């Protein structure tokens, strides 16, 4: 029963985010919409941001799991951008809310794991240290994170495919050079 109630609360919050920013949604709004008591809400969650965190954790896990064995990093990135694009209104409301720390953590986790996989895959036959691979992944994560946040701020004007293709061309051929430079510096 707990999973059903938690799922209902998370789904209700997701629906409410289509019309309200996070800072305008109250526990009262959620409980009334779900038809549950405040006590039931607080049994499962501490506050609205706790619900939002659960939503993003679930989405992060689903995205990462779906791409565990994917061949093309560009197609993985397209799928991740599509998630944001499909949930454009909710993402915009979160982005413009007073506290968007949860969105930042979600994007940071997804993008870092994603980029670390790309860097590791591109260098699987080379002999780079884990430290160099992590530093390179962090560098590219920050670049992609900045690009994704800029894309969100610019109202997602490019399609997910266009943005992914653009950054694929930036990555192409630069990973090995960056790793070589990092390895020489370490």
On the 0-12 / 13-18 / 19+ scale of CB atoms within 10 A, 166 is exposed
Handedness of CA 41, 42, 43, 48 (dihedral sign): positive
Query: What whole-number distance in Å separates Cα of residue 163 and Cα of residue 50?
Result: 31
Kindly compute the dihedral angle of the four CA atoms of residues 105, 175, 179, 76, in this order, to the nearest 10 degrees: 40
What is the reported pLDDT for 3?
87
What is the reported pLDDT for 67?
64
Distances (CA, A) of 89 to 85, 104, 145: 8, 16, 19
Query: What whole-number distance in Å separates Cα of residue 62 and Cα of residue 10?
Result: 15
Q: Residue holding tokens 């490019």?
A: 158
What is the reported pLDDT for 42?
95
What is the reported pLDDT for 69?
64
Q: Residue holding tokens 């860097």?
A: 119
Model pTM score: 0.74
Query: What whole-number distance in Å separates Cα of residue 184 and Cα of residue 132?
Result: 10
Per-residue pLDDT of the chain in tens (186 residues, 90 and over written 9): 558 899 999 999 988 988 888 888 999 999 999 999 999 999 999 988 888 888 877 877 777 677 666 666 777 788 888 888 988 888 887 777 756 677 777 778 777 777 877 787 777 778 888 898 888 888 988 888 888 889 988 999 999 999 988 888 888 778 888 888 998 998
Distances (CA, A) of 146 to 117, 141, 167, 183: 19, 8, 12, 25
- DSSP H helical segments within the chain, as ranges? 2-16, 27-34, 38-44, 48-66, 73-86, 88-95, 101-122, 130-153, 160-171, 175-185
Query: What whole-number distance in Å separates Cα of residue 139 and Cα of residue 178?
Result: 9
What is the reported pLDDT for 2?
58
């Amino acid at each position: 029963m707990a999973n059903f109630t938690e799922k209902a609360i998370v789904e209700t919050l997701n629906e409410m985010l289509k019309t309200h920013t996070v800072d305008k949604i109250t526990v009262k709004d959620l409980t009334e919409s779900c038809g549950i008591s405040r006590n039931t809400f607080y049994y499962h969650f501490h506050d609205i941001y706790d619900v939002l965190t659960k939503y993003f954790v679930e989405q992060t896990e689903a995205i990462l799991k779906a791409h565990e064995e994917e061949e093309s990093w560009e197609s993985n990135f397209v799928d991740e951008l599509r998630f944001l694009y499909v949930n454009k209104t909710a993402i915009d409301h979160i982005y413009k809310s007073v506290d968007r720390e949860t969105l930042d953590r979600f994007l940071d986790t997804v993008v870092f794991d994603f980029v670390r996989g790309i860097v590791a895959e591109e260098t699987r036959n080379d002999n780079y240290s884990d430290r160099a691979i992590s530093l390179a992944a962090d560098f590219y994560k920050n670049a992609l994170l900045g690009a994704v946040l800029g894309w969100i701020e610019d109202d997602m004007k490019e399609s997910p495919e266009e943005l992914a293709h653009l950054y694929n061309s930036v990555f192409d051929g630069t990973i090995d050079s960056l790793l070589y430079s990092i390895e020489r510096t370490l």
